[in-house]
Amino acid sequence: MPDRGEELITNRLEKLSRIKDMGIDPYPISFGITNTISQALNLLDKNKDGIDKDPIKVVLAGRLIRLRVMGKASFLDLRDGTGVIQGYLRKDLLHENYDLLKELDLWDHVGISGELIFTQTGEPSIKAENLTLLSKSLRPPPDKWHGLKDVELRYRQREIDLSSNDDVRARFIKRSRIVSAIRSFLDSRNFVEVETPVLVPVAAGAMAKPFITNHNALNRTLYMRIATELYLKRCIIGGLDRVYEIGRVFRNEGIDLSHNPEYTLLESYQAYTDLQGVMEMVESMISIVVDSVNGNTNVDWNDHVIDFSTPWAKIRLQDAIREFSGIDLDEFPDPSSLAGRMREAGIAVTQEVSWGRLVDKIISDKVEPHLIQPTFLIDYPAEMSPLAKRKTSDGNYVDRFEAFIGGMEIGNAYSELNDPIDQRIRFQSQEELRDQHADEDFDRIDDAFLDALEYGMPPTGGLGLGIDRLVMLLTDQKNIREVVLFPHLSLSQEEIFRFVDDLITDNRQLPMSTDEFTEYIYKALTEDLRSRITKDEIQNRVEQANVN
């Protein structure tokens, strides 16, 4: 029995052939419109009392989302990026052009020229005088365009998700407005937007595992950037006193509800200011952005109402840890004693991790969940912050804050370390910690940055702000994949089969029996892939390849 999906595609291909036989180009190069659908509806609404006696003629275009063919008169619904309008089509007005309706399907793109009217039932419509096919859709929409419900399919085929779900489309439009509002704020404060390298010789500026690649022409190992920090500081050293970049960074780490391997990061650096200046800028910027895109500074999120208005709460990190976990960091200055105290507090740890990593785990397990309203945690241990300036009152701590909203970290800022000697020592300490804790990520020595720092960097305040998480908060989403257009996912079953087929094709010349070859292909797969395909499935594909 033929697959229903393949049958529908075959039917559409047959229609495509008939359309071409009619002398119609199913994919014309362009089509001129006079209005968006939203503009057309506004024009019609302004004239609903019939004040303007002249007919309103427009040319509209969009995707066909409903079609009702009824003999000599038919109706369709047309949607563009701004709205939906009904099309009223009559054979006596369209003549031979009316025959095209028989060959149309849902999700075809069409253009209509005609007069804007209200039907007898009061429905805003365009009475068609001409109908033009703009793009023939060869695949049917999911579930008769009522919406794609399979979550993983929504992420894998975001184009269908956008076309099927109005709320998803609106969410990504809002994301664009959020980014534009951030740029507008920074530009108004005389920041200069710059672009720094994505492929870098040293993956420095953060504690994260990088993606590694190779530049063939240079025969050189390069890394996808994990931060933009060090290049932006070199701009400050060069005399660009206020700089920012909004761009992708890449971290070869886990995927969960608030982490994606590549994400959008705002980093900004301002000369002649410190952590207090950055703190004022962050709370002002986000408050203004929220008001701009939301209409006020109160946002519904996860059964809470978050108030983004200024000023935000400020809590010393030590005090927050003591309040929410009962642990006093000063009493446990080494990894062993701190790990023991954490176990007593019910926090699962292994003895091998560093002291800084243990503190970070206390924050994520015991402190973050309580920080729903906008809050700055300030004064961090120096071991956790190799690029931040030490506090004059206590050299074991640095002038740093992390901003938390909705139980998530959204920002990180320092009074930037500008002492080149101290900076080199701090980097070397990070390398020593890497030797002691090989499974953890620490910052890396970037000699080009250290050399640049020796030319002199003025006192500077720096910021890193996660755009994706901010969008999550402003669109009431709990999963970062809902605010990233094309998030990373594990391989689909179809992709696994395709990968196995490619392996079979590339190695089929090996002199092996079917059983031996099946075992060879199975062992060539990663452990994760082996858990998702059986040897019998591989053998079936090997035998099929031999037949072909």
CATH number at residue 291: 3.30.930.10
250 and 173, same domain (yes or no): yes
Shortest CA distance to 335 belongs to which of 350, 321, 346, 347? 350
Q: How far is CA 354 from CA 53, 62, 422, in A?
A: 79, 58, 21
Low-confidence winner among 294-303, 399-408, 427-436 (lowest mean pLDDT): 427-436
Q: How far apart are CA 258 and CA 398, in angstroms?
A: 26
34 and 58, same domain (yes or no): yes
Tokens 């004693």, located at residue:
337
Task: Out of 102, 123, 140, pick the residue that ends a domain.
Answer: 140
| Other Cβ atoms within 10 Å of 300 Cβ, number | 10
Shortest CA distance to 124 belongs to which of 43, 62, 68? 43
136 and 185, same domain (yes or no): no
* φ/ψ (deg, to 5) at 259: -130, 135
**pLDDT reported for residue 153:** 78
More confident residue, 265 or 540: 265
230 part of a folded domain:
yes
523 and 425, same domain (yes or no): no
396 part of a folded domain:
yes
Give the pLDDT confidence of 154-195 residue by residue, as tens digits: 888 899 899 888 999 999 999 999 999 999 999 999 999 999
**Which ranges of 193-257 would DSSP assign to H, the alpha helix?**
229-237
Quote the pTM value: 0.86
Give the pLDDT confidence of 260-316 residue by residue, as tens digits: 899 999 999 999 999 999 999 999 999 999 999 999 999 999 999 999 999 999 999
Q: Could you tell me if residue 491 is left (phi over 0), alpha (psi between -120 and 50 degrees) or otherwise beta? A: beta
464 part of a folded domain:
yes
DSSP class of residue 491? P
478 and 500, same domain (yes or no): no
Per-residue confidence band for 387, with pLDDT thresholds at 50, 70 and 90: confident
208 part of a folded domain:
no
101 and 184, same domain (yes or no): no
- Which domain, by its residues, includes 394? 166-196+226-312+373-482
506 and 448, same domain (yes or no): no
Per-residue confidence band for 405, with pLDDT thresholds at 50, 70 and 90: very high
68 and 121, same domain (yes or no): yes
Whichever domain contains 49, its CATH number is 2.40.50.140
**pLDDT reported for residue 206:** 75
172 and 89, same domain (yes or no): no
191 part of a folded domain:
yes
212 part of a folded domain:
no
Task: Out of 92, 122, 140, pick the residue that ends a domain.
Answer: 140
Low-confidence winner among 144-148, 347-351, 470-474 (lowest mean pLDDT): 144-148
472 and 498, same domain (yes or no): no
Give the pLDDT confidence of 487-538 residue by residue, as tens digits: 887 777 778 888 888 888 888 888 888 888 888 988 888 877 887 788 888 8
DSSP H or E segment with residue 4: helix 4-21
Q: How far apart are CA 254 and CA 363, in angstroms?
A: 18
Q: How many domains does the chain have?
A: 3
412 and 524, same domain (yes or no): no
Mean pLDDT of the chain: 90
Instruction: Tell me whether strands 84-90 and 73-79 are parallel, antiparallel or unpaired.
Output: antiparallel
445 part of a folded domain:
yes
Mean pLDDT computed over 306-329:
96
Task: Out of 140, 157, 186, pick the residue that ends a domain.
Answer: 140
Give the pLDDT confidence of 333-369 residue by residue, as tens digits: 988 899 999 999 999 887 667 888 899 999 999 999 9
409 and 279, same domain (yes or no): yes
pLDDT > 80? residue 472: yes
488 part of a folded domain:
no
